[in-house]
Structure 1
Amino acid sequence: MLERPGNEDDTVILPPPPAAKPHRRSVLYAGVGGAAALLAVAGYSTFRWFRRPKPIPMGTATEANIDNTQPCDIIVTYLALDKKVVVLDFPSLLSQGLMLDRVAAFVEKANVPHNRVLDDVALNAAITASGDTISDYYYGHDYQAVALARFFALAEAENIRLNSQELWLKQLLKQLGWMSPDTNGAIITVPAAGGPITPEMRAVILRHEISHGAFYTVPEYRHYTEQFWYGLTLSDREAFTNFLGRQGYDTNLTELMLNETQAYLIFTRDPRFFNAAAIGKTEAEVNQLRQGFIANMPDFWLTPLATEALPPVPAFMPACKPTQAMLATRHKRLCLCYQRSGFDCV
């Protein structure tokens, strides 16, 4: 996360008594009652068919593709570098928060329980106590598929009333086949440029979250990050832990600490989000830690991003036009895509 700055039918069919040979009538001669029953079944099946949610459209995008897109509705894409990572591109911080703040509290926020799902009252109280709002509880989110599956299973068991955005996320997980406890996948998010989020900050948030995607989906990288963490001095680990605690992370979760450390240290090159002073060190000390991590990284798709500059972004992103925003509320998938000729509505 980035802070602000087979067959399951068990019915047993008993054979008829030997002396009572059953008399079968065809559907044609079933009579009025039978016809009515058949129509009722057909009607119910049709009703269920119409109520079945439409598949959520998905594509594949590169980091640069995403950086240069301004969403007017949620855009869902597989990350081209690793299709086990799915990116949710939100039209606003508010829409992102409404969908994922409760998950954030459940998975990793400080001062809230992680063994149950908060109801609306408890969630709002936790957000207020943190000094944040629904919109800025996190600027970017990242969750392992198994954690999301656990969240929804527990919410159902506890009869927690989820909002429409959270139910949409549950639909997406089912569509992806990610509701099983052994799925290897990750969801990462990024908000649209606008308000406190500049196009450059949007690019920083995405790069940070991409590194979390790799941590969740590439076991070799997770193992490497663990080794790096335990290879740090106690003082260095405390420095990062204290920084992350001030950001609202639960410092009792060691895996969270080392995951966020790699994301901030290596993939968040923006002083508005992370700098040497934030962990009480000099730039030279931080550079030494950074170079040591990069020098021994396993060679896979994330490795080049540790040293590559962020993709170029436009100087500004236009807001969605009112007609587009109105259409978006009717579940139309619209966005503004930056192209060489400018922004085009698609």
Structure 2
Amino acid sequence: MPLPLPPTKRVIETASVEQLLASRSPSGDWQLARLQGNEAVLVIEFPNLLEQGRAFNRAAAFIEKKGSARDRVLTDLELAELVNKSGDSTETFYFGHDYTAEQLRQFFAQSSKQELVLNPQELRLRVLLQEAKLLQEGAVETKSSAEPPATSQQVVISFTALQVDDPATKADEGVDALRRESTLRHELSHGEFFTRPAYQKQSWNFWQKKLNEAERAMFRRMLAGMDYDPDNEELMANETQALLMHTPDRRAFDAGSLGVTPAQLQDLRARFERSR
């Protein structure tokens, strides 16, 4: 089972999806595990969305958020403005995260280059990743190109514990059992994309060959509406597979999200399965 993250280095245990979903942290602390069956995927469960957002939102903006800078890391004020512009809060900017080791190495390297003061959660995350040997030089680079990289690398994904919505806020911060499981499975599929060459090839084959240009534009438009960078081709292929095949919570994705009928959505899913 995943264990609360201690202040000192220790061996990271493995956990299955079922164990990750069954876990409850009595201390309300971060929990850490490597995915059973694919230990290249490091999973962090945060006690709530606020803690997760403080740890990852700035990295998210740097790596994949539309309208954010790609050549520098945002300051606290710039990040707050981006979050507000998207109509979100620190809690709801993302419900889960997924990044390659190289993407996070670049984020922390750029932060250091700018001499940017990171918050306590970001500093803790950096130590955690250093201890897990994810921030070393020489990791396989992930680029936004029309072709998938030839090799895999380590990946970090996150999700949160259950939490109730705050009725005093406009955003929905509620994480019930369905949203929690859907977020975990969605993020784990990104881990598979980055670390399993066969699954990555299937996802690219679906994106490039099984969809026509109008259908790709449909997905691109939906993802841009979610503030993902539509010019990042790898991100488009990766988010498409995760939403289409691994997001059971219909509040996050359904036929209406894409602007198709339920029958058309089933056809798209069948085509993805045939893309192997």
Paired position in structure 1 for 2:157: 188
Provide the C-alpha distance between the structure 1 equivalents of 2:76 and 2:32, rounded to a whole number of angstroms: 26
Q: Partner of 2:9 in structure 1?
A: 55
Tell me the CA shift for residue 219 of structure 1. Answer: 2.3
Shift of 1:147: 0.1
Letter in structure 2 aligned against 1:256? L
* Separation in structure 2 between the aligned mates of residue 250 and residue 187 of structure 1, nearest angstrom: 20
Distance in 1 separating the partners of 2:36 and 2:245: 21
For 1:177 and 1:283, the matched residues in 2 are separated by 44
Q: What's 1:219 paired with? A: 197
**SS in structure 2 at match of 1:70:** coil
Does residue 271 (structure 1) correspond to residue 250 (structure 2)? The answer is yes
* Higher RCO (CA < 8 A, seq sep 6+): 1
Residue 329 of structure 1 corresponds to none
Distance 2:69 2:78 in 1: 11
Alpha-carbon displacement from aligned partner over 1:164-194 (angstroms, at most 9, x marks no partner): 1111111112112122232510000011111
Higher-Rg member (1/2) = 1
Q: Deviation of residue 198 (structure 1)?
A: 0.3
Deviations 1:291-345 (A, max 9, x none): 1212343xxxxxxxxxxxxxxxxxxxxxxxxxxxxxxxxxxxxxxxxxxxxxxxx
SS in 2 for 1:159: coil
Deviations 1:42-77 (A, max 9, x none): xxxxxxxxxxx6215632111011111233110000
4+ long deviations beyond 4 Å:
none
SS of corresponding position for 1:190? strand
Cα deviation for residue 223 of structure 1 reads 2.4
From 269, 286, 295, the equivalent of 2:265 is 286
- Per the normalisation by structure 2, the TM-score is 0.86
Q: Encode CA deviations 1:7-65: one digit per residue, 9 max, x unaligned.
A: xxxxxxxxxxxxxxxxxxxxxxxxxxxxxxxxxxxxxxxxxxxxxx6215632111011
Which residues of structure 2 form unaligned runs of 5+?
1-6, 141-152, 165-173
Q: Which residue of 2 aligns with 1:241?
A: 220
Whichever residue aligns with residue 123 of structure 1, its letter is L
Instruction: State the match for 1:251 in structure 2.
Output: 230
Q: CA separation in 2, counterparts of 1:86 and 1:70?
A: 18
Partner residue, 2:177: 199
Query: Quick one: distance in 2 between partners of 1:295 and 1:81?
Result: 24
Alignment RMSD: 1.3
CA distance in 1, matches of 2:272, 2:105: 32
Q: Is the 8 A contact 2:206 2:275 kept in 1?
A: no
Question: Which ranges of structure 1 fall in alignment gaps of 5 or more residues?
Answer: 1-52, 298-346
Q: Percent identity?
A: 36
The number of equivalent residue pairs is: 245
Counterpart of 1:75 in structure 2: which amino acid? Q
- One-letter amino acid matched to 1:205: T
TM-score, length basis structure 1 = 0.69
Counterparts of 2:175 and 2:232, CA distance in 1: 28
> Counterpart of 2:198 in structure 1: which amino acid?
E
* Distance of 1:162 and 1:105 partners within structure 2: 14
Pick aligned residue for 1:68 from 22, 29, 34: 22
Q: Is the 8 A contact 1:70 1:193 kept in 2?
A: no
Indicate conservation of the 8 Å contact 2:57/2:90, yes or no. yes
Q: Does residue 81 in structure 1 map to residue 29 in structure 2?
A: no
The change in CA–CA distance for 1:83 and 1:254 in structure 2 (over 3 A counts) is same
The letter for the 2-side match of 1:78 is R
Q: Counterpart of 2:90 in 1: which secondary structure?
A: coil
